[in-house]
Each structure stands twice: as structure tokens, then as C-alpha cells.
């Protein structure tokens, strides 16, 4: 079975670990969000790609969900002694090595997709991880800053420094319009038996991947099953509610499915806590969706695959 999953950071990575366990024989391609990428200290940092790579490769800090386990912060501290920030973004010493290798390879002319493949040679994530694009796309957030007025800031500044406390006036994946899908992205989607949307952020993770021209159209032709990132009317983790508010979508499992719409998704898993959810044109199934441990997560992934198989059989897509 050929599976494609679109993934953001923590929620996506954990779901993928369950998916790998639920379908050990499957050929899994992960299309990773790069809208969160940021250049810091002259280095290119790709948080979502790294979170997927470290999580599936056994190197993630499990409590935090991002960054490396057994991490230290000597380099960050030394930079701060020179007055060089930002202090609000926690790049650890082990993690720095990844960004140094990536930046060196990019400077030598390798594309991000080739660099990601090279990094994955070390981590052996057991899936093929491809960035959504090799072109630079950066999510920016427009806020009304009490000190500086209306301005656009990098997504990471809004997410990490401000903890999304300033309401987003708008959120834009800058550069997405001109970006091309990375080599292998469209081919993988076209060859897929099923496309899965893990419980990643519908706006700044999955929404950003779908904003790269060509990807949404390719995905829409397939059997697509999504897992709601909203449980009991609130995001399981992260601040997806702040992102949904920015695009005028209510924070509910139903509203997110309607936002994707029946032209894009065929099946939608919601948690039992959300009661009866009905979405026109979308097959909705209710089950526990908390990724509380690897077994529970694998069972969610299995349910998504079962629903996809059922729908593919039914629609002949």
C-alpha cells in the first residue's frame, strides 16, 4: 500500500510514528511543511522537517515534542554572552549540528529535498520525507503590535515569542504562490492509494502545504482521510485555535472538516468528545483520538487507513 501524509510538526510526527507501526509494510511518503522554516545565526532551521525526522528516527525530546533528547544549550548561551539573539528560540547544541550540515549543503548548491534525504540517511525514519517545496516559503503573521503598530512578523516569532497572544490579523505563506512542489511530491501523491491528513495544524501546517500550486489539485483527486486536530472544541496541543480565528474558522472538528471541504477530503475522524458531527459530502467516524501512547496512536492511524480503504472501495477513486 502506498500512503502519502502531509505533516506539520509535533502532532504530525507522533501520528506518523503510529502510522508506521499500524502499516509496517506500507510505502509511506511524508510531505513536510516548510513554512515554519527560519534563518537564525546564518543557519537554515526547518522545525517541522526536523521534528518528523527526529521523532521517527528516535532522537526527539519526547516531553517537548521538538528538538533533540539529551540536549544542552552551550552555544546558545555563548551567543547570548556576545549579545547575539534571539534568546526566545531554543536551538540546542546537538540540534545546531543539523542546521550547520543543512546550511552547508544548501550553500554548496544542493536543494532542500536532497539535503533532507541526506539528513535522513543518518536518522532512518522509515518513511520518505520530502519538503513540500525546495523554494523558500515563510509563513508570516500580521499583528497589531501595541508598540510598533500593524506589522508582519515571522511565524516563529508569533508562535514561540508571543505564544500567539497577539491576535493574528492575517496569516500568509509568503512565497507559496511562486513555489513549485519539490521533486517527487506530485509523483508520490499521484501514485498513492490514500492521502492522510494527520492531526496537524489546518492553517499553518497542512494549509501551507496545500498552498503550493499543484499540491491541492493532486491531493483532491485521491481518497483523502483526515484526523481532527480539534478534540472537544479545543486544539489537542499548540495554538491552532488562534490560527483558525485568523481565517474565520470556528475551533471545532466540524468546522475544520468543512474548511477542507468535500472536494478535498473524503473521510474525517473525530473524537467521541465532539458528539455527533455531520459534514456534507464527508464520511465522518467517531473514535478516541488522543495520541496518549504509541498503541493508541497506531489504532488511530489504523482507523484512518480502514476508513480510506472503505471509501476507496466505495467510490472507485
Ligand X SMILES: O=c1nc2n(C[C@H](O)[C@H](O)[C@H](O)CO)c3cc(O)ccc3cc-2c(=O)[nH]1
Judge whether 203 and 3 are in contact, CB under 8 Å.
Answer: no
| 50 or 271: CB nearest ligand X | 50
Least separation in angstroms between CB 211 and ligand X: 16
Altogether, the residues listed in the chain come to a count of 317
Q: Which three cell numbers stand for residue 195?
A: 492521502
Contact call for residue 36 and ligand X (CB under 6 A): yes
Least separation in angstroms between CB 199 and ligand X: 12
Contact call for residue 235 and ligand X (CB under 6 A): no
Site string for ligand X, 128-157 (x = CB under 6 A): ----------------------------x-
How many chain residues interact with ligand X (CB under 6 A)?
A: 17
| 26 or 101: CB nearest ligand X | 101
By three-state DSSP, how is residue 133 classified?
Answer: strand
Least separation in angstroms between CB 69 and ligand X: 13
Going from the C-alpha of 174 to that of each of 33, 131, 143, 241, 304, the distances in angstroms are 13, 16, 15, 21, 32
Going from the C-alpha of 209 to that of each of 66, 80, 273, 279, the distances in angstroms are 20, 34, 28, 23
Least separation in angstroms between CB 121 and ligand X: 19
* CA triple 270-271-275, angle to 5 deg: 90
Backbone angles phi, psi at 224, to 5 degrees: -120, 130
Choose, by CB under 6 A, the member of 91, 179, 194, 282 that binds ligand X: 91
Smallest CA-to-CA distance from 237 within 5, 2, 9, 4 is with: 9
Choose, by CB under 6 A, the member of 53, 132, 160, 224 that binds ligand X: 160
| 45 or 284: CB nearest ligand X | 45
Least separation in angstroms between CB 284 and ligand X: 26
Smallest CA-to-CA distance from 303 within 251, 225, 242 is with: 225
Contact call for residue 116 and ligand X (CB under 6 A): no
Question: Alpha carbon 94 to chain centroid distance?
Answer: 22
Alpha-carbon gap, residue 247 to 145, rounded angstroms: 19
Least separation in angstroms between CB 137 and ligand X: 13
| 1 or 165: CB nearest ligand X | 165
Site string for ligand X, 38-77 (x = CB under 6 A): -------x-xx-xx--------------xx----------
Least separation in angstroms between CB 38 and ligand X: 9
Which secondary structure element, helix H or strand E, spans residue 189, and what is its range?
A: helix 185-191
Judge whether 170 and 149 are in contact, CB under 8 Å.
Answer: no
Binding site for ligand X (CB under 6 A): 8-9, 36, 45, 47-48, 50-51, 66-67, 89-91, 95, 156, 159-160
Amino acid at each position: 500500500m502506498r500512503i502519502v501524509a502531509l505533516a506539520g510538526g509535533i502532532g504530525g510526527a507522533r501520528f506518523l510514528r503510529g502510522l508506521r507501526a499500524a502499516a509496517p509494510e506500507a510505502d509511506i511518503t511524508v510531505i513536510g511543511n516548510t513554512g515554519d522554516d527560519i534563518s537564525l545565526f546564518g543557519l537554515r532551521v526547518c522545525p517541522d522537517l526536523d521534528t518528523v525526522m527526529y521523532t521517527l528516527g528516535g532522537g526527539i525530546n519526547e516531553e517537548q515534542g521538538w528538538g533533540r533528547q539529551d540536549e544542552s544549550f552551550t552555544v546558545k548561551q555563548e551567543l547570548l554572552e556576545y549579545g547575539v539573539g534571539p534568546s526566545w528560540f531554543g536551538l540546542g547544541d546537538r540540534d545546531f549540528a543539523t542546521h550547520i550540515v543543512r546550511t552547508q549543503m544548501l550553500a554548496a548548491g544542493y536543494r532542500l529535498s536532497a539535503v533532507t534525504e541526506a539528513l535522513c540517511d543518518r536518522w532512518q525514519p522509515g518513511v520518505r520525507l520530502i519538503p513540500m517545496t525546495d523554494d523558500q516559503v515563510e509563513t508570516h503573521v500580521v499583528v497589531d503590535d501595541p508598540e510598533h503598530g500593524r506589522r508582519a512578523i515571522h511565524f516563529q516569532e508569533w508562535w514561540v515569542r508571543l505564544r500567539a497572544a497577539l491576535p493574528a490579523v492575517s496569516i500568509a505563506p509568503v512565497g507559496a504562490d511562486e513555489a513549485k512542489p519539490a521533486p517527487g511530491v506530485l509523483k508520490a501523491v499521484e501514485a498513492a492509494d490514500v492521502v492522510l491528513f494527520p492531526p496537524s495544524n489546518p492553517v499553518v501546517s497542512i494549509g501551507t502545504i496545500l498552498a503550493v500550486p499543484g499540491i491541492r489539485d493532486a491531493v483532491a483527486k485521491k481518497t483523502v482521510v483526515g484526523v481532527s486536530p480539534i478534540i472537544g472544541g479545543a486544539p489537542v496541543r499548540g495554538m491552532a485555535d488562534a490560527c483558525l480565528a485568523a481565517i474565520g474558522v470556528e475551533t471545532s472538528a466540524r468546522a475544520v472538516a468543512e474548511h477542507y471541504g468535500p472536494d478535498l477530503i473524503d473521510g474525517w475522524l473525530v473524537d467521541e468528545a465532539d458528539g455527533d458531527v455531520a459534514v456534507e459530502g464527508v464520511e465522518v467516524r467517531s473514535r478516541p483520538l488522543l495520541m496518549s501512547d504509541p498503541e493508541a496512536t497506531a489504532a488511530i492511524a489504523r482507523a484512518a487507513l480502514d476508513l480510506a480503504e472503505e471509501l476507496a472501495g466505495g467510490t472507485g477513486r
